[in-house]
Amino acid sequence: MTDIHLLTAQTQGDRKRLLQNLKNQKKDFRLELIIFAAIWLVAPFLTNRPNQKPLIESMSYGMALLFFGLIFLIPLSITYFKKVHKAVLGLQTDLKRVIVTQVTDKAKNPLFRKDEYCLKLADDYLCKLYFPKHNFDQFEIGEMLRIEVSESGKQVIKITKATEKIIERLTKKAPDYSFSQKQPYKSVLFGKETEEKTSFLSFFSFLIPSKHNFISAIILDINILVFVAMLISGVNIYKPLVIDIVNWGGNVRALTVNQGEYWRLLTNVFVHVGIIHLLMNAIGFIFVSAFVEQILGKRWFLFLYVFTGLWASLTSVWWHDNVVSAGASGAIFGLYGFFLALLVLVKKKDREVNSGMIASVLIFVGYNLIMGLAGNIDNAAHIGGLISGFISGSVLTLFGVPSRGKKNNAQQSIAKSGADNASIKLTEDIQLK
C-alpha cells in the first residue's frame, strides 16, 4: 500500500518528549566536550615535560594544541550535528509528521552503530530507524507502523503498530495545523523559549551536587580541592616528589602498617600524582558514577566507593613492600567491577541488551591493566578494587540492589580513559617518619 503522510500540530506531550530528548543529547555532548578539554590539557605534558625529554620533540606547545584540537574537533562536530543539531531542529516548529509505513528489513549491529539495531522502512522520507535491542524486538518484517516525527529534524516522538482502523482513520483525516512560526535556533539551543536554560556553568554540572549526582560530585570536588591545596603548598603540578605524596597521605606499608597510620588507607584515595593523573581519573569516574549512583542511591554509593577504595589500598600495601601509592583509581575500578557484575549476572536476554556496555567496561578494565604492566602504575590496587567491586555487585544482585530506581541498561559508551593509580618507588635518601 501507499505510505501515509499527515502533517499536524504537536501536542504538549510531544513537546515534552522532544525537550527531554534535547536535554539528553546536550548532556551527552557536554560529557564529550569535557573529555576533549581534558585531553587538550595533556598536550603541554607531551611537548614540554619538566626535566624530561618531550614525547613529541618536533612540536611546539602551540602546534600540539592545534594538533589535538583538530583531531578531537572532528568527532565532536559530527556528534553535535547528528544529535544536538537535529534535536534542536525538532523543537524549532510546532508541527509533526504522522507516517504509516511498512518494515521491510531488520539489521543487527549496523556499521558504525554497533550498540544499536536498525529497522529499514518502505517510506523514502524516513528510510531507517535505530533502536536499542529491547525496542527493536517489538517489530517484525512486514508489519505496518504508525510513526510520529518532528516536521524538522526527523526526531521520533512515538511509534506504534498500525492497525487497519488506524490506517483507515488517518486516510480520511485532513491535515490539522495552523501556521507555525519557526523559533530562532539559538533560543531553542540555549533554552530561552523551551524552559531549559543553559548557562556556561551547566558545562560543569558534574561538579555541582544535584539529585542524580550528589555524592559523586562531592567526591570529585574533594579530589580537586585536595590537588589545589597541594599546588598551593608548593607541590609540582606535573611530577610531585615522593615525600610530597607521603606528606599528603600516600599509602606505603612502612607507615600504614608498620607504624599504624591506617588512615592512609583512605587518604591516599584523594591524593593524585600530578594534573594528568587527576584528569584521567576524573574522566573515568564521571562516566561510571553517572550510572552507579543512580542505581544505588547516595548512601550505598558512598559506602561502595569507600569500601572498594579501602580494599584497593589494603591490596596495595599487601603486595608492595617499599612503594608509595596514591590515586582514586582503586575505588574507580571498584565502581566498574560493581557495574560489570550488575550487567553480567542477569538473564541471557538482559545480558544481550547490555552487551555494548559490557564490552565498554571490559575494554576500560583491560586497557588499564595492560598499561599497568609498563610500570609506575599500581595494578595491585586496580585488581583489589575491581574484585571487591565485582563481589559487592554479585552479592547485591543475588539479594537485591538497594536502589531508588530501576537498573539503567542504557546503551551509551563508557569512556575508555586511563584511570591510572600511580605508584612511586621510594628512594634511599627519603627518610620515613
Residue 287: give its domain's CATH number: 1.20.1540.10
**pLDDT value of position 352:** 66
Phi (first) and psi of residue 264, to 5 degrees: -65, -25
pLDDT of residue 417: 36
Confidence of residue 430 (pLDDT cuts 50, 70, 90): very low
Q: Is 431's pLDDT higher than 70?
A: no
- CB of 117 closer than 8 Å to CB of 133: yes
Residue 181 lies in a domain: no
Please count the other Cβ atoms lying within 10 Å of the Cβ belonging to residue 373. 8
Mean pLDDT over 388-410 rounds to 68
Give the Cα separation of 129 and 125 in Å (integer): 11
Residue 334 has pLDDT above 90, yes or no: yes
CA distance 96 to 149: 6
Band (149; pLDDT cuts 50, 70, 90): confident
State the burial class of residue 297 (Cβ atoms within 10 Å of its Cβ: 0-12, 13-18, 19+): middle
Give the model's confidence band at 100: pLDDT under 50 very low, under 70 low, under 90 confident, else very high. Answer: confident
Q: Which residue has the higher pLDDT, 203 or 355?
A: 355
Tell me: do 247 and 160 sit in the same domain. Answer: no
CA gap 164, 1 in Å, rounded: 12
pLDDT at 410: 35
Q: Are residues 92 and 214 in the same domain?
A: no
Q: What is the mean pLDDT of residues 128-140?
A: 70
How high is the pLDDT of residue 248? 93
Q: Are residues 158 and 294 in the same domain?
A: no
Task: Looking at the structure, tell me whether residues 270 and 363 fall in a common domain.
Answer: yes
Residue predicted with more confidence, 140 or 110: 140
**Catalytic annotation on 289?**
no
389 pLDDT higher than 90: yes
Q: Indicate if 355 and 226 belong to the same structural domain.
A: yes
pLDDT the model gives residue 387? 95
| Section 243-254 average pLDDT | 92
Q: What letter would DSSP give residue 51?
A: T
Q: Is residue 105 part of a domain?
A: no
Query: Is 289 domain-assigned?
Result: yes
pLDDT at 111 over 50: no
Using the structure block, give the residue that is written with the C-alpha cell 581519573. 281
Are residue 83 and residue 27 in the same domain, yes or no?
A: yes
Per-residue confidence band for 102, with pLDDT thresholds at 50, 70 and 90? confident
Does residue 316 lie in a domain region?
yes
Its domain, for residue 19, covers 1-99+152-175
Confidence (pLDDT) at 228: 93
Active-site choice (272, 277, 320, 382): 382
Average pLDDT over residues 293-315: 93
Burial (CB < 10 A; 0-12, 13-18, 19+), residue 47, is: buried
Same domain? 274 vs 405: yes
Res 64 pLDDT > 90: no
φ, ψ (nearest 5 deg) of residue 126: -95, -45
| Domain match, 160 and 236 both | no
> Taking residues 8-26, what's their average pLDDT?
85
Considering the domain architecture, whether residues 168 and 89 belong to the same structural domain is answered as yes
How many domains is the chain built from?
A: 2
**pLDDT tens digits, residue range 25-42?**
887 777 777 667 766 666
- The answer to whether residue 333 scores a pLDDT higher than 50 is yes
Lowest-pLDDT choice from 246-250, 279-283, 311-315, 387-391? 279-283
Cα 276 to Cα 204, 281, 308: the distances in Å are 19, 9, 23
Task: Average the pLDDT over each of 37-46, 90-99, 137-146, 245-254 and give the range with the smallest value.
Answer: 37-46
Q: For residue 135, name the pLDDT band (cuts at 50, 70, 90).
A: low
Query: Which one of the listed residues 313, 329, 392, 417 is annotated catalytic?
Result: 329
354-359 mean pLDDT:
74
The answer to whether position 199 is within a domain reads no
Mean pLDDT of the chain: 77
Task: Answer yes or no: is pLDDT of 113 > 60.
Answer: no
Q: Is residue 61 predicted with pLDDT exceeding 50?
A: yes
pTM beyond 0.75: the answer is no
329: annotated active-site residue: yes
The whole-number average pLDDT for the span 258-262 is 91
pLDDT of residue 200: 46
Task: Give the model's pLDDT for residue 78.
Answer: 81
Return the sign of the alpha-carbon dihedral for residues 135, 138, 139, 143.
Answer: negative
pLDDT at 429: 34
Are residue 171 and residue 258 in the same domain, yes or no?
A: no
Rounded Cα–Cα distance for residues 189 and 192 (Å): 8
With a CB cutoff of 8 Å and minimum separation 6, the contacts of 79 are: 28, 29, 32
Average pLDDT over residues 80-104: 85
Q: What is the pLDDT of residue 160?
A: 84
Residues 169 and 283 in one domain: no
pLDDT of 194 reads: 43
Share of the chain above pLDDT 90, in %: 23
Over residues 274-300, mean pLDDT: 87
Both 292 and 159 in one domain: the answer is no
| CB within 8 Å of 328: residues ≥ 6 apart | 219, 223, 269, 270, 272, 281, 285, 309, 419, 421
Which residues are 107's β-sheet partners?
Answer: 118
DSSP label at 84? I
pLDDT at residue 428 greater than cutoff 90:
no
Residue 131 lies in a domain: no
pLDDT at position 405: 44
Position 376: which residue type? Answer: N
191, pLDDT greater than 60: yes
